[in-house]
């Protein structure tokens, strides 16, 4: 009988996943795997809402600020490294916690990644040139024609994702979406999935407040420091790209801040759409007392061990 359990904590941005993750890790005396793809970068801190020094001290976290914005790092790299780290942690803990709102990264650990054929690298080079010359919108329109199903459900503001889907469509002559969800990976641990949520207006209010707090904490200075690297893929991140437009004198600061709030709200909406498709997630309102969630988790773990 396998007693190892991975507890996955998901939900929209600014809902309180980090605090809950720390609480669960302390309750079960274990460690945390972060599955937030923007918190991987060591140069980005305020704008990605990296756990506070107190939270990092309260429970050991992995995959927080472990790579540079200069590094090429994919969901495939994360799956390989995180599954290895989880296996290592299971040697000393029966329970491990994973916290994050990056749907594809969470899915890579819970289910494995879909298999894609090798594609001629020149196709990607050509698409990157097109992105540089004509902007993201032309690639989005191309993908909408080639794979309308994927266009409707994926994050079209992420150029890396758009280019990845397009290179598969062009290189195989088939829709990118036709390669998805072919098979699920069998993991050698049990999984309990929980999510934090709230009504939409409350989520939006929390996001607006968080952006105001980020500005107070020095997001403008952090973005200014990163401005010379704005062409890197990692820099196409909400909270930074809007401030880069302000530095370029395209927009006023007040408007840039309102754009950060708007784009973060859109991101939260996409996160909820992604996670709500997963019927395995047990949802809790963000105001639920941690003790109630610990009771639920303990009961689920006991049921698995029977």
- Binding-site residues: 11-18
| Among candidate residues 141, 143, 30, 16, the one with its CA nearest the CA of residue 88 | 30
* Residues found in the chain: 306
Other C-beta atoms lying within 10 Å of the C-beta of residue 219: 21
> Are the C-beta atoms of residues 178 and 171 closer than 8 Å to each other?
no
Query: Residue 173: which region, alpha, beta or left (left: phi > 0; alpha: psi -120 to 50)?
Result: left
State residue 281 phi and psi, 5-degree precision: -80, 130
Helices marked H in 135-288 — which ranges?
136-146, 148-153, 159-172, 200-217, 219-226, 241-247, 253-276
Residues of the binding site for substrate: 13-18
Cα 85 to Cα 200: distance, rounded to the nearest angstrom: 35
Binding residues for ATP: 11-18
* Distance between first and last Cα of the chain: 9
Alpha-carbon distance 68 to 51, whole Å?
17
- SS3 of 243-273: HHHHHCCCCCHHHHHHHHHHHHHHHHHHHHH
């Amino acid at each position: 009988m396998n007693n190892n359990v991975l507890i996955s904590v998901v939900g929209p941005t600014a809902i309180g996943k980090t605090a809950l993750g720390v609480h669960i890790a302390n309750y079960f005396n274990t460690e945390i795997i972060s599955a937030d793809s923007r918190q991987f970068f060591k140069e980005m801190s305020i704008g990605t809402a990296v756990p506070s020094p107190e939270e990092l001290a309260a429970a050991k976290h992995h995959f927080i600020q472990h790579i540079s914005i200069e590094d090429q790092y994919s969901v495939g790299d994360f799956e390989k490294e995180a599954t290895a780290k989880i296996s290592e942690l299971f040697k000393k803990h029966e329970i491990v916690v994973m916290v994050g709102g990056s749907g594809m990264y969470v899915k890579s650990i819970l289910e494995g990644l879909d298999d894609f054929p090798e594609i001629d690298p020149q196709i990607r080079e050509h698409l990157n040139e097109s992105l540089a010359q004509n902007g993201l919108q032309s690639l989005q329109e191309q993908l909408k024609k080639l794979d309308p199903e994927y266009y409707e459900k994926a994050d079209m503001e992420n150029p890396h994702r758009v280019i990845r889907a397009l290179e598969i469509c062009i290189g195989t002559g088939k829709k990118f979406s036709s390669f998805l969800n072919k098979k699920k990976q069998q993991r050698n641990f049990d999984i309990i999935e929980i999510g934090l949520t709230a009504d939409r207006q409350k989520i939006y209010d929390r996001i607006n407040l968080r952006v105001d707090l980020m500005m107070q904490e020095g997001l403008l200075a952090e973005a200014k420091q990163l401005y010379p690297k704005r062409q890197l893929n990692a820099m196409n991140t909400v909270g930074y790209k809007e401030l880069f437009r302000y530095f370029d004198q395209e927009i006023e600061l007040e408007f840039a801040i309102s754009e950060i709030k708007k784009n973060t709200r859109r991101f939260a909406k996409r996160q909820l759409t992604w996670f709500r498709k997963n019927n395995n997630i047990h949802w809790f309102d963000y105001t639920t007392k941690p003790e109630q969630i610990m009771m639920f988790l303990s009961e689920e773990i006991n049921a698995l061990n029977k």
